[in-house]
């Protein structure tokens, strides 16, 4: 039985991965320090006999070292991160402490304890190139690096390559688009779906960050959680030793997301246009053909299907 360590495994994405890895017969070790997320997201996973949870912060190398020494994971899925662009603008030192220092702790321990496969989670949106109208961002495009968060994630990709060469482990760096779905928290840029849902349910207006030439707001690539889980399973089985985009390849304006949710919830609560936010990219949509060429993966869940699943889960949680 192979052991996988998921850092940040109590979060939205990590908890979905934990359940799928357990279903596939892995021993799953979760390192996280959010007791709130543990209570909300890990009830099913932690009922399994092959799941272990540690309340640990990856910035605490001694605590992380104990986990590695005890379990010697074959695979590491590094999802722990500071993921907010605005927070990275306000406190770039904290962003670097989590996204670089924390990563270096995990990389060093993985190498020293014989990890064979390291899965690093990067950001396709924050690292998007300056794309022309109708174009899509490829992994080879130089990123705009418009925020400390983007800088730390891009640096992380380089560190992963260096440590993989130093210790001889395989790796895959997954540049996620805006992942959404059940369990997602209403924080960070990627949390726009639950933010809108919460506002709709509360009858409160939402804010639309818009430009004069982008009246429907910035555009992003939205990918459903189950498609992201499938991508992770593929690189777990066959590491790529490369960086790949993970998205739908469909450019969607923020107002389109709001209108889709308003239809699902039969809501007439308004959305109010505001000015752009520091550090935001105007447009981001990913070319995911590289991942498809490597593995055959492509996103399968449409935006309409995904938003419907969010509504069904939200209403089910409210019962």
To the query of whether residue 142 is one of the catalytic residues in this protein, the response is: no
Alpha carbon distance 292, 287 (integer Å): 10
Structure tokens at 269: 């609560």
Helices (H), the chain: 12-23, 35-41, 43-46, 61-71, 85-90, 92-96, 103-112, 148-167, 192-202, 225-237, 254-264, 289-295, 303-318
Strand pairing of 51-55 and 170-176?
A: unpaired
Residue 8: phi and psi, rounded to 5, are: 70, 25
Among residues 26, 149, 180, 258, the one annotated as catalytic is 149
Can you name the residues that pair with 222 across neighbouring β-strands? 178
Structure tokens at 22: 């357990």
Q: To which residue do tokens 């540690």 refer? A: 54
Question: Buried (b) or exposed (e) across 209-247, using 16+ Cβ within 10 A?
Answer: bbeeebebbbbbbbbbbbbbbbbbbbbbeebbeebbbbb
Alpha carbon distance 166, 21 (integer Å): 28
Alpha-carbon distances of 300 from 20, 30, 172, 230, 262, rounded to whole Å: 17, 28, 21, 10, 23
Confirm if 206 and 271 have CB atoms less than 8 A apart: yes
- In the chain, the N- to C-terminal Cα span, in Å, equals 38
Can you name the residues that pair with 207 across neighbouring β-strands? 272
Residues with catalytic roles: 149
């Amino acid at each position: 039985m192979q052991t996988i360590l998921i850092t940040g495994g109590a979060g939205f994405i990590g908890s979905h991965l934990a359940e799928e890895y357990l279903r596939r017969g892995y021993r799953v070790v979760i390192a996280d320090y959010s007791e709130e997320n543990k209570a909300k997201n890990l009830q099913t996973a932690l009922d399994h006999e092959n799941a272990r949870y540690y309340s640990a912060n990856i910035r605490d190398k001694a605590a992380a070292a104990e986990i590695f020494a005890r379990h010697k994971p074959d695979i590491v899925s590094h999802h722990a991160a500071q993921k907010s662009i605005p927070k990275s603008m306000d406190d770039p030192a904290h962003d670097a402490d989590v996204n670089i220092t924390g990563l270096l702790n995990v990389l060093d321990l993985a190498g020293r304890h014989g990890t064979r496969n390291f899965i690093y989670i990067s950001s396709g949106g924050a690292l998007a190139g300056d794309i022309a109208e109708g174009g899509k961002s490829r992994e080879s495009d130089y990123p705009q690096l418009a925020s400390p968060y983007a800088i730390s994630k891009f640096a992380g990709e380089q560190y992963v390559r260096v440590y993989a060469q130093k210790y001889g482990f395989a790796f895959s760096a997954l540049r996620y688009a805006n992942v959404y779905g059940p369990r997602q928290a209403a924080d960070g840029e990627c949390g726009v779906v639950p933010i809108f849902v919460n506002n709709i349910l509360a009858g409160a207006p939402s804010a639309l960050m818009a430009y004069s030439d982008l009246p429907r707001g910035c555009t992003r690539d939205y990918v459903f959680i189950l498609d992201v889980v499938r991508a992770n399973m593929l690189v777990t089985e066959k590491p790529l030793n490369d960086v790949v985009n993970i998205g739908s390849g469909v450019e969607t304006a923020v107002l389109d997301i709001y209108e889709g949710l308003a239809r699902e919830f039969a809501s007439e609560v308004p959305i109010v246009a505001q000015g752009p936010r520091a550090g935001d990219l105007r447009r981001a949509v990913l070319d995911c053909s590289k991942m498809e060429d490597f593995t055959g993966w492509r996103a399968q869940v449409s935006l309409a299907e995904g938003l419907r699943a969010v509504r069904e889960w939200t209403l089910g949680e409210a019962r």
